[in-house]
Amino acid sequence: MNINFKSKKSKFIIAGVIILGIIGYLTYAGIRDTKLYYLTPTEIVNRGSGVYGEKMRLGGVVTAGSIEYDAQTLTLKFVVTDNTNSLPVIYKGVVPDTFKNGVEVVVEGTYTSKGVFKAVTLLTKCPSKYEPES
């Protein structure tokens, strides 16, 4: 390809490349700065001490009967499982309406050396209907 830097077209190509370059860089830097592992309880347990204190997401199902909520301090304790391994989670804050036994959750926070996952955000998947147990 023949690029003549004096031609009109090349000016636009340069401007366009600059814009796309900036957007590309922002995207790259964004991913670099904010990326989080999304792990299951088993994956976290297997990695063990290697991931202590690292910010990550944990996905799984809330074990039935494991929910304890202290309305006074807004502290929620529950267990997340992938049916192979389970992890206790502690979360402080407002609990979404859809949070209950057996629901799929994604929590964001850190896995501590005590084997507890300290969550700062709690997301629940909202099914569009009552899921009948079948």
Partner 1 sequence: MVDLGYFSMLIAVVISVYGIVAAAIGERWNKTELVRSAENSAFVVAGLLTIGLAVLFYSFLTHNYRLAYVASYSSNDLPLVYTISALWAGQEGSLLLWGWLLAVFTVIVILQNRRQNRALMPYVVIVLMIIILFFLILITFITPPFKKLDILPADGQGLNPLLQNPGMIFHPPLLFLGYVGFTVPFAFAIAALATGRLGDIWIRSTRRWTIFSWFFLGIGILLGAQWAYVELGWGGYWAWDPVENASLMPWLTGTAYLHSVMIQEKKNMLKVWNIILIILTFVLSIFGTFITRSGIISSVHSFGQSALGPFFLIFIGVILVTAFGLLVHRLPFLKSTNELDSIVSRESSFLFNNLILIGVAFSVFLGTVFPIISEAVRGVKITVGAPFFNQVNVPIGLALLFLTGLCPLIAWGKASGRNLRINFLSPFIIALAGGVVLFAVGIRKVYPLIAFTLCIFVLSTIVLEYLRGVNARRKMTSENYLTAFTRLIWRNKRRYGGYIVHIGMVLIFLGIAGSAFNAEKEVNMSRGESVRLRDYKITYEKLVSYPTKSKDVVSATLSISRGGKRLGFLSPSIETYKGQGETQTGTEVAIRSSLKEDLYIILAGYKPDGVSASFKLIINPLVNWIWIGGFVLALGTIVVMLPDRREKRRLLIKYSREVFSDEI
Q: Which residues bind partner 1 (CB under 8 A)?
A: 8-9, 11-12, 15-16, 19-20, 23, 26-27, 29-31, 33-39, 43, 57, 59, 69-74, 92-101, 104, 106, 108, 123-130, 132-133
Return the number of the residue (28 or 114) whose C-beta is nearest partner 1: 28
* Structural tokens at position 55: 């910010």
In the complex, the smallest distance separating the C-beta of residue 113 from partner 1, rounded to whole angstroms, is 22
When the beta carbons of 46 and 114 are compared against partner 1, the nearer one is 46
Output the CA torsion 56→61→64→66 (10° steps): 0
Secondary structure class of 107 (helix, strand, coil): strand
d(CA 44, CA 39): 6
Per the structure block, which two tokens stand in for 132? 């009948």
Nearer to partner 1 by Cβ, of 70 and 83: the residue is 70
Residue 84 CB, nearest approach to partner 1 (Å): 16
Q: Which helix (H) or strand (E) holds 120?
A: strand 117-124
